[in-house]
Structure 1
């Protein structure tokens, strides 16, 4: 059994690490052509739909987890950017990442990745504008951001891209290893019958349960991808898996602690409800589709 676990771990970890390094390097290589100053200008413009689209683009090209998104959000709020647009970035940044979406495509398939991307993007926009419409902008504390480095345009630089890839890999590698380890243990040690009996089938209620379980956990998408691949292969329904992926990456206890320092409690509560709603709705969509 443990030989199967080891072989599975080597296979999963090796594949994900190679893909992550290659895609991260390509993304970092083209970062120099991204006009961050113009993107932020569009986000501050009067065209709400265009600003929302730009916020999604910025969320897509900036590989932030839920916690590391907070300094960028504070900086945007200090710049008096439109509240709804900042919220769109806050919700979409942790769940949209070109590298992670590539890993998701390789492990879960193109159809799942496309639906995931479209649904999370649309829900981020809807939630962001809804919170703005409900007047939650008044629940933002006056917090100044110090020591924050602006996102700026840098010229095409092979060495800089390689350095950034190595830095990012050092941050993400532990999560990939943890995810591959848990996934390989599930693959080799957990009976398929156990997964299918308790987490498979037509149990729709597993979707909101998975969404609730994922919120307090600090699990990066890079950790969840290999775990979800094995869970689905073992027979777990796709709906609960996607709900767990979105809720665990969209919120966490460390992030909620940081948000409590910049938001009043009613906005923090609204944030948690929004992440839960996004995860549940997405999971049910996958469940019924």
Structure 2
């Protein structure tokens, strides 16, 4: 009742700005492909050329990631005024070991984000006080195991492959999050993130704030986080665009098609510099398999591309210190290797 009374006191003009901003955000997000195509046309390039493909990728993903970052960080900033970090932490951590990691990984299934797009939610979770290991379970699951990947795998390879990918992908996300959480590496968050994660937002709780103050808190949250990470976002997407446009598919197929023990590790290493989402990489996986690459090897490559991409790591560098990034890569990489060898052994 108190919140309703405060909401009624808020000026009508400010209330009107919220749905207007949401409509403008949705319109911008829905026209990203048109915008990227226009950028390519204005450049005088053709989209099916290397340079045109790279430019389209950059023009599409840069505004997409920034729009997602603004929306998620704003919402999380407003939510923080209702829930202290301790309450949010308790909600996701759960009462039993691993429940929070499981819930976060399952949440990732219904969020069809590429790795860089999942980073805004990762930052939002940390800023709300969610445990580090739980946030990593989401960060891994969101790009790697989602409905787009599962639908495409189902259509291309059948339900057995799709189901096995779902199970192994969730297992990697949950176990990796548990391991990172057990290692207690919060000290390897960047200082500004650790301050937020450690309870800076706790001073701003549900008591004594009206709706105008809550909405202003969301805007402050955007300024604080976006102001720190935007150069890393642009650099990461630029690297991904260059790789997306210029790395030859035939070269990767020749490596992953060799019947050798090192083919799976090689595929994972090759995948890390790449950057795309599930919808973009699954057709590549199909083409690679059609050229003779092993299924497990190509799926390990796919997992590496969408869960351990170099652009994602460049963006995370502003959030995490190097020991935590190295641990993240090592734990997730080990899980992906096991998945690759498992698929090659049983399929």
TM-score by length of 2: 0.56
Aligned to 1:147: 222
Is residue 2:117 matched to residue 1:68? yes
Instruction: Give the length in aligned residue pairs.
Output: 216
Structure 2 gap segments, 5+ residues each: 1-78, 197-219, 224-240
Q: Specify the SS of the correspondent of 2:144.
A: coil
What is the alpha-carbon distance in structure 1 between the residues aligned to residue 336 and residue 141 of structure 2? 12
Larger Rg: 2
Counterparts of 1:10-89 in structure 2 under 5 Å? 42-89=91-138
Do residues 130 (structure 1) and 187 (structure 2) align?
no
Which residue of the other structure, out of 128, 133, 149, is the alignment partner of 1:100? 149
Match for 1:90 among 136, 139, 158?
139
Q: CA deviation at 1:201?
A: 5.8
> Is the alpha carbon distance of 1:281 and 1:247 closer, same or farther for their aligned partners in structure 2, counting shifts above 3 Å?
same
Structure 1 residues 94-243: aligned runs within 5 Å: 94-141=143-190, 142-143=192-193, 146-147=221-222, 199-200=256-257, 202-243=259-300
Cα displacement (A) at 1:41: 6.9
CA offsets, 1:146-176, max 9 Å, x none? 339xxxxxxxxxxxxxxxxxxxxxxxxxx9x
> SS in structure 1 opposite 2:293?
coil
Q: Give me the CA root mean square deviation.
A: 3.1
Cα distance, 1:44 vs structure 2: 4.0
Task: List gaps (5 residues or longer) in structure 1.
Answer: 1-35, 149-174
CA 1:46–1:78: 2 relative to 1, 3 Å: farther
CA distance, structure 2, for counterparts of residue 206 and residue 138 of structure 1: 36
**1:73-114 residue CA offsets vs partner (Å, 9 max, x unmatched):** 111111111222111111111101112210111012211111
Secondary structure in structure 1 of the residue aligned to 2:165: helix
Q: Do 2:172 and 2:332's aligned partners in 1 also have CA atoms closer than 8 Å?
A: no
Contact 1:204–1:287 (Cα < 8 Å) also in 2? no
